[in-house]
Chains A and B, each alone.
Chain A
Amino acid sequence: MSLLSLFSVSLTLNNHTILNDVSFDVAQGEVIGLIGPNGSGKTTLFNLLSGFLKPTSGSILFKDENITNVIPSKRARLGFGRVFQHFGIFRDMTLEENVRVALEALPRDKRKELGNMDELVDATLDMALLKPYAKKKAGSLSGGQMRLLEIARTLTSGKELFLLDEPTAGVSPKMTHQVADMISKLKQQGKTVLIIEHDLPFIAQICDRVIVLDVGKVVLSGNPTEVRDSEELKEIYFG
């Protein structure tokens, strides 16, 4: 059964077609890499999936429910977790508050299901290796630490579908391994993940399937090895 389905999704802004007839299914527990050159519409697709943009045509189904017109906060409560390209943490809040605010935004029954809030906050900071800095402002963290905090926060807040927008961007090579470890944990837990990445070896290492976008269209889809070795991919990137 598909967890997420896109049917002929198109988006036009100011007479400019950003996404054109995008359709694909995402199965429960699948880890999918979304690649493509700059301006191919990857982040726009994430904004559309998160509910920040509404498609001009087409529909989006989550667990067989049409969510095309559902607002972002409701999508998050349905189980969408998003990691932003430019660090979606609140820099003026402490690390502890950053985790707490995410947990508090969950529906009441989900919060109860997850257990004790203080323990969850501790566990999240522990997972991100940031427990000693719990009372520090998040703005004082390095890019890598911010990324770890953001992923750990999304991980512990019981989301079902993770949208990770360039999770290794602005992260040191050492931290990239830690980010990869965290995504592997998601995979082990049977979570469904969509990742936008430019790092093809990273994608090949963790993804079950890769979707290639170019000029707003899905041009290629398959397992990472097939996609990596395809002539079409070389054509898209190198002309």
Chain B
Amino acid sequence: MSFFLHILILIGYCLPIVLAFNLIFGKGKILHFGPMGVSAATSYAIFVVLMNTHSFLLAILFGLLISILISLFFSWLSLRLEQDSLGVMSLAVHLTIIVIITNWTSVTCGALGIPKIPRLSFMESIEMFALVTTIYCAIFLYFLYKVDKSSFGRKLEALAEHSWHAKSLGINRAYVHAIAFLILGFAHVFGGFFAYTYLRFLNTHEFGFQSLIFIVMAVVAGKPGSFKGVTLAVILLILLKEGIRFIPLAPGILGPVRLITFGIILFVAVWIRRDTLFPQERLV
């Protein structure tokens, strides 16, 4: 039962993040590789404030503020840079954020991380935690589904296929990108809040390339832009990731096995979708 609840919690906070990333990377075809940078900055903003003020509300509000600033920064980059440059730049920003967090030890505790993170009093039990994250996930999914099928979703798709054609219809690229990045930022705020109050510990290792690969893999395997496909991919990949624990392997081998498995899945998914993953934007 506790394994089932654990899976439910993981899906609860991962799924909204991956689907929000799918909006940018899958539907918008924006080569953004910095989601873990956003996640790191917002999570640290939340928990540094929480540990110092003991106010959940203040912590969440500060997390939202930081997520707005970083999301708008990435959105601005997406308007100024070509796709490949954005990919490299977003990775650079991600690494910069991690380096700052790791070295700003007086505030972030550096490599030691932030331990003993408290939970909201009504979320102390795993059952309640699973229930709250599931409700949060259901609400966020409904919101993302509506966004995906809305005029905003169509505008994002139009910009992805041909930005000149979309602009000539009156679609404002800056506005559409800003909204897409903000949605991902908000998913990171709440996802980060649930993730690290669940784990009760925050460390920069959580925001490494393994996490980025998981998100990218889920979107690519589920078919970029597909709401249902990516949802299914996240659920299956989390089941696989956690299910590997039951294979009788030494703890030192388990991690590499998991990484190799995910690497193979990503390779196969990219190979299968190699022609459609990032089709060349049509030129006028």
Interface of A toward B, CB cutoff 8 Å: 43, 47, 50-52, 71-74, 76-77, 80-82, 84-86, 88-93, 97, 100-102, 104-107, 157
Contact = CB atoms under 8 A, between A and B. Distances in A.
A106 B169 CA distance: 8
A50 B168 contact: yes
A104 B176 CA distance: 13
B158 interface: yes
A52 B169 contact: no
Contacts of A107: 170
A71 B165 CA distance: 13
Contacts of B151: 100-101, 104
A118 to B, nearest CB: 13
A181 to B, nearest CB: 23
B165 A72 contact: no
A102 B284 CA distance: 18
B155 A105 contact: yes
Contacts of B164: 52, 72, 84, 88
B282 A104 contact: no
Interface in B108-165: 151, 154-155, 157-158, 161-162, 164-165
Nearest to A80: B168
A150 B171 CA distance: 16
Contacts of A82: 168
Contacts of B157: 90, 92-93, 101
20 contacts: A73-B170, A73-B172, A74-B172, A80-B168, A82-B168, A84-B164, A84-B165, A86-B284, A88-B162, A90-B158, A90-B161, A91-B161, A92-B157, A92-B161, A93-B158, A93-B161, A97-B154, A101-B166, A101-B169, A104-B155
A202 to B, nearest CB: 22
Interface core residue of A43, A52, A81, A90 (most chain B CB under 10 Å)? A90
| 8 nearest A-B pairs in the assembled complex, by CB-CB distance | A76-B170, A105-B170, A104-B151, A72-B167, A88-B165, A82-B168, A101-B154, A105-B169
B154 A86 contact: no
Contacts of B172: 71, 73-74
Given A85-B284, A86-B283, A92-B161, 6 more contacts: A71-B172, A73-B169, A76-B169, A88-B164, A101-B169, A104-B155
